Structure 1
Amino acid sequence: MDFDNVDFQTLREYEPKIRHLWHDYHLSLGLPIIDIQHLWLVFILVCLDSVTVFKEPHERLSGVIKVLDQLHRYASEHFAAEFALTEMLDFKAQEHKREHQNF
């Protein structure tokens, strides 16, 4: 998966799974910039699921490593930005931190 060049077809293919996870886990905070980042994190998780279906073990391992690397890099940036923004806006910051600890 090339996360810098995601095509429309891939997004359409993954959309049902993304919607399912988005709604089932109530990931919307009502802060648009954070919600967009959450959607991207969900997309990455759906990508992780999709790479596990490769038939060849080396393809599967390579795909999993790429996706986990992207997830690690993006999650680190996202959580730093999210905590800073929620604290700056006093947006239920303590409650939100507890939600992350329980997730």
Structure 2
Amino acid sequence: MGIELELHSERPGARKRAPGATLLRESHQHGEALARALGTLELDPSGKLSWIDPYGDTLFNEQEAQVVCAEAAALAERCTDEQRKAALLDLAALLDECAATPGSYVRCVGD
């Protein structure tokens, strides 16, 4: 089980475009470590990071991405496992890019 990450220039699937037409960047290298990190680390239940579904897709707009980015970075600081920490930092970087890109979305694709 893993969670793949995608950064889109606009809401994916919102318009009839070729698949992947809105895709700006994606990350697959930390999928399993990210799923383990989100499954084993203590998440703030009131935060948005806990929204990520390891079995389905989760979408964050640029405003939500800003909040989730801070949560992921804070969680990475507390993480002692290097692979999980790298996965959380990768997620934070993608969310940060989304927060800085008007109209963009991050999609977390679960297994």
TM over 0.5: no
The answer to which structure has the higher helix fraction is 1
Could you state the TM-score of these two structures normalised by the residue count of structure 1?
0.35
TM-score by structure 2 length?
A: 0.33
Higher-Rg structure is 1
Q: Which has the higher contact order (CA 8 A, sep 6+)?
A: 2
More strand by share: 2
